[in-house]
Amino acid sequence: MKLLAILLSLALILAISEARSTRKTAGNSRAVRALESDDDDDVEVDWYKLLNNLISVAAHNLLVSGEFLALYPFLSLARVPEKNSCNRELNFDPSKPEKFKNPLKSIYQTGVIKIGVATIVSLPYFSNASHPEGFFYDLGNSLANEIGFILKRTMKAQFVGFLATSFFENATQALASGAAHTIIGMSYLVPRTLKTDYSCWYEGPSPFAVYRDETRPLPAGFTLPTSLAGWNSNLIKIATLGGSIFETAARKFFPSAQFVTFPSMNAAFDSVGVTTDISFSITGETEGYNEAHGMRLKIQNGTLIEYGGGNAFATHRKP
């Protein structure tokens, strides 16, 4: 058994060494050629797009090295959607930092990448707004180290907290203002792509639950269930964000229910008990809403379940 353990350990070390040798560096894109030229005034370069590509390549390097798995063994990394593939070429030349423009210039010159994260005390990622702990903190530091490897510069992460209430609005404001270069752990939702770009996904289990306003009556003829399956009824109207992981999860577990889609999760939550009966949402997102609304929505008994959600690093999208 000891010999087998030694052989397995050696195989793992070799696999990680081989994976690290596949780290991405620079490609030969139009942006690279522009940076290699002494006169690039006639070439328009979207530096926010280049920053997103840098973060995606760094995430790819962490993925192939196995560092994601080492940080958080419960993540499932096998299913990365093709349209958000990590397997990208770096589309600028990191050996020419004198050519960098904002925001890459700021990151390179200061040696700091500012990572925004939603602050909800009840979530396990941070003990409080000023002292980050847990998976997001570890992942953010690893990302900064990998960006340092690519840029051949010592790099560190600076974590910037923003209120999780009105999450997307606060996140996009942090990105647009330059308070954060990237947001960690942002769910990839179709409506959000109008204002933000995303790195490749990493998938992880998120806790979902049925929430309702217990001061409002349920539909006539519907008995309060004691399990998740009991809410799968055509009498129930579910509030959700259209085109999101919330809607995907709800349609998976409640195919018989009626669905009412909204342009934001706050609007969906506002409708519960008014024009809809429940929401089926990630507990952290609902807690953020609840903290600003007197804990109006309550988790229903027997409905808490983990469902895989796609998270990514988000960056500002140039208008």
The string of pLDDT tens digits covering residues 195-249 is: 888 776 665 567 889 999 999 999 999 999 989 999 999 999 999 987 777 887 8
Q: Which of 50-64, 78-92, 185-199 has the highest mean pLDDT?
A: 50-64
Whether this model's pTM surpasses 0.85: no
Q: Which pLDDT does position 278 carry in this prediction?
A: 96
How long is the chain? 319
User: 137-168: per-residue pLDDT in tens?
Assistant: 778 888 899 999 998 889 999 988 887 767 78
Which pLDDT score, from 0 to 100, does residue 31 have? Answer: 43
CA distance 119 to 73: 24
pLDDT-derived band at 14 (thresholds 50, 70, 90) equals very low
Mean pLDDT of the chain: 75
Distance CA 291, CA 269 (A): 13
Q: Could you tell me the domains of the chain? A: 46-203+310-316 (3.40.190.10), 206-309 (3.40.190.10)
- What are the pLDDT digits (tens) for 91-115? 778 888 888 888 889 999 999 999 9
Tens digits of per-residue pLDDT, 17-50? 444 445 555 444 444 444 444 444 444 678 888 8
Segment 262-273, tens digit of pLDDT: 888 889 999 999
Sequential DSSP letters for 295-307: T--EEPTT--EEE
pLDDT of residue 287: 81
Q: Is residue 235 exposed (0-12), middle (13-18) or buried (19+ Cβ within 10 Å)?
A: middle
**DSSP secondary structure string for all residues of 190-233:** GGGGGTEEE---EEEEEEEEEEE-TTSPPPTT-PPPSSSGGG--
Query: How far is 5 from 41, CA to CA, in rounded Å?
Result: 58
Measured distance CA(303)–CA(65) in Å, rounded = 37
